[in-house]
Amino acid sequence: MKKLHFMTLCLAMVMASLCFVSCGDDDDYPEIHPGTGSKALLGTWQVLPGFTTWDETNYVVFCSDGTGYDIEVEQTIDVDKFEYEYQPATRKLLVREIDDNEVEQFEVVKLEGDKLIIREDDGDTFEAARCSQPPYTVKQLEQLWQMQR
């Protein structure tokens, strides 16, 4: 009887220990600290012709609060919102779309004055020029993004 009681107690302890085991977080995405980095990146940038794969005009907007907008203008306007962190010492730009947890990492090859060159993980690069007169305000972009969600 004592042996049966002991075996039941052992089985109960094993079962209880399984209750405390949980799955880990399998996402290997780095944490983003929005708004950190150089102020030189702030503003609206137009991706230069030849660096897009479609017949569209692309803009990227970096705001001081660590958010930004990716704008594609063809026959319609498509706006995506993202959070970003720029690390000037390592030239890393981390970007996470608001509706997605995946973090993309880019290398800022050049950031001088009105010129920005960014390399993607796959080796593709794009060049952008700072817009002296941005076509959209942040308020307009936020409204467009909210309507497209």
- Domain boundaries of the chain, sorted by first residue: 39-148
Question: Quick one: pLDDT band at residue 32, thresholds 50, 70, 90?
Answer: low
Q: Does CATH place domain 39-148 in 2.40.50.100?
A: no
Q: Which residues of 5-21 are buried (b: 16+ CB within 10 A; e: fewer)?
A: eeeeeeeeeeeeeeeee
Q: What is the pLDDT of residue 2?
A: 52
pLDDT tens digits along 82-97: 999 999 999 999 999 9
Q: What is the pLDDT of residue 5?
A: 47
Whether 94 contacts 105, CB under 8 Å: yes
Average pLDDT value for residue range 101-119:
93
Q: What is the pLDDT of residue 85?
A: 92
